[in-house]
Amino acid sequence: MFYLFQKGGPIMWPLFLTSVISVAVILERLFFMMMIRVRRDPSAVESLLGLAEKGDMSGAIETGEASRDYVAATLAQGLKNRNKSLSSALMKAANQELKRFNQGLFVLDTVITLAPLLGLLATVTGMIHAFGLLGNKELEAPTVITGGIAEALIGTAFGLGIAIVALIPFNYLNSKLEEARHEIEDAATQLELILKAD
């Protein structure tokens, strides 16, 4: 590993830093998703909607606030502020919940874009150095230039590797964000229909 950093040039350290950051964000987000799955309680949502249908709004709010389920918590917040505007209250509560799902995704997005560019920069600077040897006539054998080019490509390979590894969890986390958005929207629409029927 240290050999690659030595041969890849000074750009390898920012690449290493981006890889560490992406791994930290991925692990934190996967832990968050695991906790969300553990806390998920569709029965609390059904119970809340059932109480709202019966007209027991305080019971519905208590059920939502007592639950650790993010959909139930969103509905409870919406019901608490229903007198002003139920739709606006639900939208605000949904945005607060979805913000938690969205945390760290911009970091992964930046890493996926930045890592290959840093790798390319490492390659370009390595190639400039390799061709500089030609210009200075420091070449003793043709392998010096080809070896220099091969070493310069290490940065690109490392940058692409970081981006590829970060892309899979990034897409997974985005799909979970969309899944959460749909679940909240479905439950909010159900609640609005129940209250309009009354």
**pLDDT tens digits for 24-50?**
999 999 999 999 999 999 899 999 999
Q: Tokens 């892309």 label which residue?
A: 167
Can you give the pLDDT at residue 81? 82
Question: Tell me: the pLDDT tens digits for 93-151?
Answer: 999 999 999 999 999 999 999 999 998 888 888 777 777 666 655 555 566 566 667 66
DSSP reduced 3-state for 160:
helix
Domain boundaries in the chain? 2-197
Residues 6+ apart with CB under 8 A from 62: none
Residues 6+ apart with CB under 8 A from 15: 8, 115, 118, 119, 122, 155, 158, 159, 162
Could you tell me the two tokens for 177? Answer: 């964000």
Q: Which helix (H) or strand (E) holds 176?
A: helix 142-197
Can you give the pLDDT at residue 3? 47
Instruction: Among 8-22, 88-102, 147-161, name the most confident range.
Output: 88-102
pTM for the full model? 0.82
pLDDT above 70 covers a percentage of the chain that reads 84
